[in-house]
Amino acid sequence: MSKRVGIREVAAAAGVSVTTVSHSLSGGGQISDATRERVRSVAEGLNYAPNRLASGLRSKRSQIIGFVSDEISTTPYAGNVLLGAQEAAAANDQVLMVVNSNRNSRIEDRGIDALLQHSVDGIIYARMYHQAVKLPAALSGVPTVLLDASSDRTDLSSVVPDEEGAALTAMEHLLAAGHRRIGYLGNIDEIPATRGRLAGYRAALAAHGIPFDESLVTVGESMTAPGRDAASRVLALADRPTALFCFNDRMAMGAYQAAHLAGLEIPRDLSIVSIDNFEVLADALLPGLTSIALPHYEMGRWAIERLAAELAGEADSAPQQIQMPCPLVLRQSVGPPPR
Amino acid sequence: MSKRVGIREVAAAAGVSVTTVSHSLSGGGQISDATRERVRSVAEGLNYAPNRLASGLRSKRSQIIGFVSDEISTTPYAGNVLLGAQEAAAANDQVLMVVNSNRNSRIEDRGIDALLQHSVDGIIYARMYHQAVKLPAALSGVPTVLLDASSDRTDLSSVVPDEEGAALTAMEHLLAAGHRRIGYLGNIDEIPATRGRLAGYRAALAAHGIPFDESLVTVGESMTAPGRDAASRVLALADRPTALFCFNDRMAMGAYQAAHLAGLEIPRDLSIVSIDNFEVLADALLPGLTSIALPHYEMGRWAIERLAAELAGEADSAPQQIQMPCPLVLRQSVGPPPR
DNA sequence: CTGTTAGCGCCTTCAT
DNA sequence: ATGAAGGCGCTAACAG
């Protein structure tokens, strides 16, 4: 690293004052185009790079965004959220400072403290699956955007997936393939996705005049083994469904296994659609699993852009709470119902 | 955020100078225990928190560690690496600034530039799977530790999994179960893991006096579908193996599918061990997949701790290149060979 | 043991 | 259109 060149070396080399250099490089002030250009090329030639600690200290803008997550390690798609945020931040000349809490609020508070000590300009408060949150007290007064999380506060921007819309999309796909007897493999956690996806399931049935049949709904924890058990139960029904809409890909994998055990072939005897588009599973299953993608990357981008707009005090900087659409990703797990 | 309290308010409230406050809080200087305690409690009462931009500017220690990764989004266990690093950093009163390159060296250079502008104290240069790297020029002179990556430079610390050891562990487990005819489902990428795991496979055979049989080795891309195809080929052999050691869990999933298609039951007819311990797969497969865990979390921790030691200029701060052991995680995919 | 005095590198009035 | 000067909050000499 050696001794980095500072604004004063540039000033000396360009034969101007440090003020002029500062203005030239940051686009501010009233500097003639000629001077500005000259200073810029001198700076570039000298390989000048600003010291963000110093500029942050003076200007109260660190260009650092804090990213607070709850369980970055256990959620395979956490990387996409982070990536979306990171790329959007880079485009704004910002950088991400990441802190993970492991769902421990003491650790979370410590992490937030650390971020504030480093003078982050704002914070993305991210959950790794859609949930309702109460914002930590330490965050009051700090510009914050909620990611994959919602709260009852209307003064905060937030972005979550459109759970009900995702379920509708999944169901419409099955209905369009001709299915009328569609089971729902649901989960049991008390999270918004639980409510939203079930609501979408029912709404889709209603929209097509199909009566809701309680016996076609089985639930379990949202993992493979419970999914397998729950699926086995519906598939054992005398009048079993011809298609299954699954809460997520892990449960869908369980449904595949249950189908195998029951001697059913997918999609000939049973069609399956789920939510997550978790590629390691969806692509690997045989046949490929048709699934609704959750917009992880996009939520990451949106959160940063929203935060940037609010920090800039832009005209449209009123907080927004949005639900993002979730696209269908076609693979091979859906076919017409067996006759 | 309002106006944060600074060192001078604390000094005034405690009736001492700012120097005394600084020394009291940072543990330096010669301050009487009484004063130190008093200052500390005053600071706490005032809810003082240091401004790290200012202290970093002055002391040349930002307490920020840069984390440079290549493809955080596509690798499901990236979160564990990050988590290990983050937790270790927090324990050192450091915080992580994360930058991802998507394997694009221009983006990577920009990211590293940003980190340097923010005066990171050091950098963890991480890859998401074990590979040999050439360090970007921008990093010369910056304290750096390689994570899941190795280079030919002996002046840099690095940590990678012990690939050969992992393979040996896997093979010993199969051998201990009584298998003698063991196939290897390998991959084709030009990465250290390819070489190391194959070497471990051969070494284990040799150690038990079992001749290497080329026909038992099939390879493919390290994903499920190619794994399925490769496995189908060995399983079609007249004298098929009684066990399969797989390059990774995704290929192992392919092997499960191939076994099913061939009417073979695991582990009755075929035992399987692989490497990754990627829980979303290993736990979900039926039966559970016995797999060797890669020490992602541990590598993250180690890298930060090594970097901290080097930054502190500790006695044992000579660079180290280490290979981490990979533990066996037992599930249900291994049994005795069929008679 | 404690206090005084200079900056760290930059941005921002304010004057020219 | 450009420059001079002060200070962001803190720590590191150096004095006492």
CATH number at residue A285: 3.40.50.2300
pLDDT of residue B329: 98
- Mean pLDDT of the A55-79 span: 91
Q: What CA–CA distances, in Å, run from B198 to A152, B172, B194, B276?
A: 56, 14, 6, 15
On chain C, which bases lie within 7 A of the protein's CB atoms?
1-5, 7-13
Band (pLDDT 50/70/90 cuts) for residue A315 is: low
Q: Do A117 and B49 touch (CB under 8 A)?
A: yes
Query: For residue B100, which residues of chain A lie inside 8 Å, CB to CB?
Result: 82-83, 86-87
CA dihedral B88, B115, B144, B196 (to 10 degrees): 80
Cα of B84 vs its chain's centroid, Å: 8
Q: Is the pLDDT of residue A147 over 90?
A: yes
Residue A62 beta carbon within 7 A of nucleic strand D: no
What is the C-alpha separation between B187 and B220, in angstroms, rounded?
5
Q: Quote the pTM value.
A: 0.94
The residues, any chain, with a CB within 8 Å of residue A3's CB and separated by 6 or more, are none
Residue from the list A53, A223, A280 with its beta carbon closest to the beta carbon of B250: A280
Instruction: Identify whether residues B17 and B68 lie together within a single domain.
Output: no
Residue B329 placed within a domain: no
pLDDT at B1: 40
Specify burial of residue A41 (Cβ count, 10 A radius: 0-12, 13-18, 19+). Answer: exposed
Mean pLDDT of B141-145: 95
**Residues B64 and B113 both lie in one domain:** yes
Residues A190 and A255 in one domain: yes
What per-residue confidence (pLDDT) applies to A1?
Answer: 39
Strands (E), chain A: 64-69, 95-100, 122-132, 144-150, 157-161, 182-187, 217-220, 243-246, 271-276, 290-293, 321-324, 328-329
Q: Which residues contact A127 (CB under 8 A, 6 or more apart)?
A: A69, A70, A133, A147, A148, A149
Same domain, B230 and B309: no
Q: Do residues A53 and B53 touch, judged by C-beta distance below 8 A?
A: yes
Q: Which DSSP string corresponds to A10-46?
A: HHHHHTS-HHHHHHHHHT-S---HHHHHHHHHHHHHT
User: How do residues A218-260 score in pLDDT, each as one tens digit?
Assistant: 999 999 999 999 999 999 999 999 999 999 999 999 999 999 9
- The whole-number average pLDDT for the span B93-114 is 96
Mean pLDDT value of segment A317-325: 93
Task: State which residue of chain A sits closest to B87, comparing Cα positions.
Answer: A100
- Position A60 confidence tier, pLDDT thresholds 50, 70, 90: very high
Residue A3 — pLDDT band, cuts 50, 70, 90?
Answer: low
Tell me the shortest Cα–Cα distance from A79 to chain B, in angstroms: 4
Q: Does B64 touch chain A (CB under 8 A)?
A: yes
> Range of A15's domain?
7-50
Whether residue A337 lies inside any domain: the answer is no
Residues 271-330 of A with CB under 8 A from B: 278, 280-281, 283-284, 286, 297
Instruction: Please report residues of B whose CB lies closer than 8 A to that of A284.
Output: 223-225, 250, 253-254, 281
Question: In which element (H, E) is residue B324 found?
Answer: strand B321-324
Is A271 strand, coil or helix? Answer: strand
For residues A94-121, give the mean pLDDT: 96
DSSP string, B109-155: HHHHHHHHHTT-SEEEEEEEEEEE----GGGTTS-EEEEEEE-S-TT
Residue B238 falls inside a structural domain: yes
- Residue B330, pLDDT above cutoff 60: yes
Contact B33, B52 (CB under 8 A): no
- Residue at B332 is within a domain: no
Angstrom distance (rounded) from CA A90 to CA A86: 6
Please indicate, yes or no, whether residues A77 and A147 belong to a single structural domain of this protein: yes
Q: At what angle do helices B192-207 and B163-176 cross, to 10 degrees?
A: 40
**B242 occurs within a structural domain:** yes
Q: What is the pLDDT of residues B181-232, one digit of tens each?
A: 999 999 999 999 999 999 999 999 999 999 999 999 999 999 999 999 999 9
Q: B21 in a domain, yes or no?
A: yes
Residue B71: half-sphere exposure toward Cβ, Cα within 13 Å: 10
Share of chain A above pLDDT 70, in %: 98
Instruction: Tell me, yes or no, whether A256 and A286 share the same domain.
Output: yes
On whether both A206 and A266 belong to a single domain, the answer is yes
Q: How many Å lie between the alpha carbon of A82 and the closest alpha carbon of chain B? A: 8
Could you say which of A57, A82, A224 has the minimum Cβ distance to residue B54?
Answer: A57
Both A171 and A157 in one domain: the answer is no
Question: Distance, angstroms, CA B38 to C1' C1?
Answer: 15
Number of domain units in chain B: 3
Quote the mean pLDDT of chain B. 94
Sign of CA dihedral A31, A34, A39, A41: positive
Q: How far apart are the C-alpha atoms of A91 and A114, rounded to whole Å? A: 24
Whether B19 contacts B4, CB under 8 Å: no
Determine the pLDDT at residue B73. 81
Q: Residue B74 CB closer than 7 angstroms to strand C?
A: no
Find the closest chain A residue to B65 by CA distance: A97
Chain A positions touching B297 (Cβ under 8 A) are: 73
Is residue B214 located within the same domain as residue B303?
A: no
Which of B204, B332, B222 is CA-nearest to residue B267? B332
Decide if pLDDT at B11 tops 50: yes
Q: What is the mean pLDDT of chain A?
A: 94
Is there a single domain that holds both residue A100 and residue A120? yes
Can you say how many angstroms the Cα of residue A155 is from the centroid of all Cα atoms in its chain? 20
Backbone angles phi, psi at A61, to 5 degrees: -130, 105
Per residue in A178-227, pLDDT (tens digit) is 999 999 999 999 999 999 999 999 999 999 999 999 999 999 999 999 99
SS3 A272: strand
Element housing A56 (H / E)? helix A52-59
Q: Which residue has the higher pLDDT, B74 or B173?
A: B173
Name which of A61-75, A115-129, A306-320, B250-264 the model is least confident about.
A306-320
Alpha helix (H) ranges present in chain B? 7-14, 18-26, 33-46, 52-59, 78-91, 105-117, 163-176, 192-207, 224-235, 249-261, 279-282, 296-311
pLDDT grade for A67, boundaries at 50, 70 and 90: very high
Q: Is residue A338 part of a domain?
A: no
- Examine residue B69 and state whether it is found in any structural domain, yes or no: yes
User: Which residue in chain B is spatially nearest to A282 when comparing CA positions?
Assistant: B224
Q: What percent of chain A has a predicted confidence (pLDDT) above 90? A: 86
For residues A168 and A206, membership in a common domain is answered with yes
Distance (Å) from the C-alpha of residue B177 to the closest C-alpha of chain A? 27
**What pLDDT does residue A73 have?**
81
| Per-residue tokens: B227 | 């794994």
Q: Are residues B247 and B170 in the same domain?
A: yes
